[in-house]
Amino acid sequence: MTLKNTPETYGSVSKFLHWTVAAIVIFQLIVGSWMGDLPKGDFKLETVLLHKSLGILVLFLIVLRILWHLFSRRPQPVPTLTKWERIGARALHDSFYILLIAMPLTGWAMSSGYGASVHFFGLFTLPDFVAKSKAAAHFYREAHGYISDVLIAVVCAHAGAALMHHFYKKDNVLKRMLPALFGLALLGGGALHAQAAVPAAKANIAANAEKASIAANAEKASIAANAEKASIAANAAVQNWTVVHDKSAITFKPTQLGSAFTGHFGVFAATIAFSPDDLAHSHVMIDVHMSTATTGAPDRDANLMSGEWFNVAQFPDAVFTSTAFHKVGKDAFAADGTLTIKGVSVPVRLPFRLDIKAGTHGEQVATADGAVTLDRTAFNIGTGRWKSADVIANQVPVQFHITAISAQSHT
């Protein structure tokens, strides 16, 4: 999390000022609505003094926030917003600044009109804002009350719009202002913001648009491109297998701030030649299309495509190529091989359980289930602001469920 705003999200200073002011304003609106009816006494006096001090604090924080935005400009509007939504959002934000300046100023003026100086938490006394005058005090009291009513309406509209964007439109409006803890929780265990969210989102949209086409041709293209590379030895015992994609899945489960979320890869291709009775000549190659990674959160999915994560523009595929198979128990095996992600190749062992049964049309149906835990840092996944294991755990469990049907034996 950076101190300054970025083109995609608010920095920690803006978030601190936003939520601090929000908490104080809500408290002030609640206290201001009933403190006038309190019986005279020390408690009422202390409540009024606290109300005045907090009002001046809000005035100070709002001025500070305006100055901060001159130094650290607001992020660009979320791309999904319509023209009228952008106009409405700007009008709502500007009205907040006006109201949150006018509210404490009218309160200060009202106190001065009544001849009651404003003390700031007992630290110092502010000069009178206006001369003592019952007429002025009455005027500013009425103005203070009307502004309070308008502010309540604007707060409700602002909160309602933010919740609508999050739960109905499912865009990034609310999440980019949330503090890290709550933002990541709403993201499924963490709020991830891309370094270049808009370009990444466009890349992800393009990838999804082509997904159906990729799914239809991925296996044929991969088999054709890698048939020679596979160099599967001619052996009658080894079976070729064809993956049944709608019954297969590869999932991953990262942990962010102690909370895990699940993602999956929509498209992958495979060349499989395997027999439990001939492990020496068995061979597997799996090509995962990284652009089809989804986690259920559009902004996070877009972020996964960025250079800090999968960098799909430069490295569109992750490839596992087996080098050896081992039997480790009844119906239990392990595949040694090399996994390449983002251009980094790392030796891994994939343990799995295998179940082979006869199909309804004379073919064999094989089901393989396995899991492996990968160290994301070994592949340079999650760099920059996401590098720390305190935010995102280095260890990422990956699970696979593969269903395949037998093809002709090698001859």
| Domain ranges across the chain | 12-177, 197-409
Please provide the DSSP assignment of 208-235 as one string.
Answer: HHTHHHHHHHHHHHHHHHHHHHH-PPP-
- The pTM score is 0.46
pLDDT at 30 over 50: yes
CATH superfamily of 12-177: Transmembrane di-heme cytochromes, Chain C (1.20.950.20)
- Tell me the pLDDT band of 23, cut-offs 50, 70 and 90: very high
Q: What pLDDT, on the 0 to 100 scale, is given for residue 179?
A: 73
Percent of the chain with pLDDT over 90: 36
Would you tell me which CATH number, out of the four given (3.40.50.300, 3.50.50.60, 3.20.20.330, 2.40.128.110), belongs to the domain 197-409? 2.40.128.110
Tokens of 227: 């048939």
- Tell me the pLDDT band of 198, cut-offs 50, 70 and 90: very low
Q: What pLDDT, on the 0 to 100 scale, is given for residue 197?
A: 40
Nearest to 350 by CA among 272, 292, 290, 277: 272
Q: Among 31-40, 313-322, 333-342, 388-397, where is mean pLDDT lowest?
A: 388-397
Percent of the chain with pLDDT over 70: 82
Sequence-ordered list of residues with C-beta below 8 angstroms from that of 173, at least 6 positions apart, any chain:
78, 81, 161, 162, 165, 166
Tokens of 58: 């809000």
- Tell me the pLDDT band of 139, cut-offs 50, 70 and 90: very high
- Three-state DSSP class for 391? coil
